[in-house]
Every structure is written in C-alpha cells, then in structure tokens.
Amino acid sequence: MPMLPFVKRKSSDPPFYALDDELPLVLAISSGLQHALAMLAGLITPPIIFASTLNLPPDVSAYMISASLIGCGEYDLGISWFGNNLEISISSLCYRVAQSADMSF
C-alpha cells in the first residue's frame, strides 16, 4: 500500500503463526472452508475443461465429474488404508502413462 503524505498510519506487523500455534477459531474455519473449496474446484475443473473442449453433451460432462470425484475418493481411501506406498506406485503409473502417450504422438 503506498504511503500518502496526508494519511498517517501506525505501523503494525502482520500476524504470523508458528507451526504449532493455535489459530483463532474464525481464521481456522475460514481457512478450512477455503481449502475444501479449492480441493473441490481442483477435482471438478479438469473434466469441465475436457468436456467443453471436446464438445461433449452435458450428461457426459456430469458423468466425467462424478467419475473424478469417485476416483479421487477411492484414491484417498487407498492412501489411508495402505499408506504412502500406494501413492508412489500410482505416481509411477501416471509417469508411465504420460511416457507412452508422449511416444504415441
């Protein structure tokens, strides 16, 4: 914010919280809601972009969004049951799929 000569402000440091500090309740709730909405938007946006780019009908777009949400839910369950080893194997699988897709073009 620029400092104007006729406006006097007192200097205050922005609030920073350490790793194990307790956040105020309103800040914690608003941050949690923001995080949940960002995760939801990250899951819904790619199917919408693909469906609109490929000119697919709305029912196929809705199916793609549902499949994305269900697939990510299953992935989260797998992570919670089997731990990080599943994440490593899926990451390497995605890498192999990306390699094979790149070689096919």
Distance from C-alpha of 86 to C-alpha of 74, rounded to nearest angstrom = 12
Distance CA 13, CA 26 (A): 20
Q: Where are the domains of the chain?
A: 42-104
**Spatial distance between the Cα atoms of 67 and 48, rounded to a whole number of angstroms:** 12
Q: Tell me if the pTM is above 0.85.
A: no
Percent with pLDDT over 90 in the chain: 15
Tell me if 93 sits within 8 A of 101, measured CB to CB. Answer: no
Task: Band the pLDDT of 104: cuts 50, 70, 90.
Answer: very low
Output the pLDDT for position 20: 81
Give tens-digit pLDDT for 40-81.
888 888 889 989 999 999 999 999 889 888 888 887 777 777
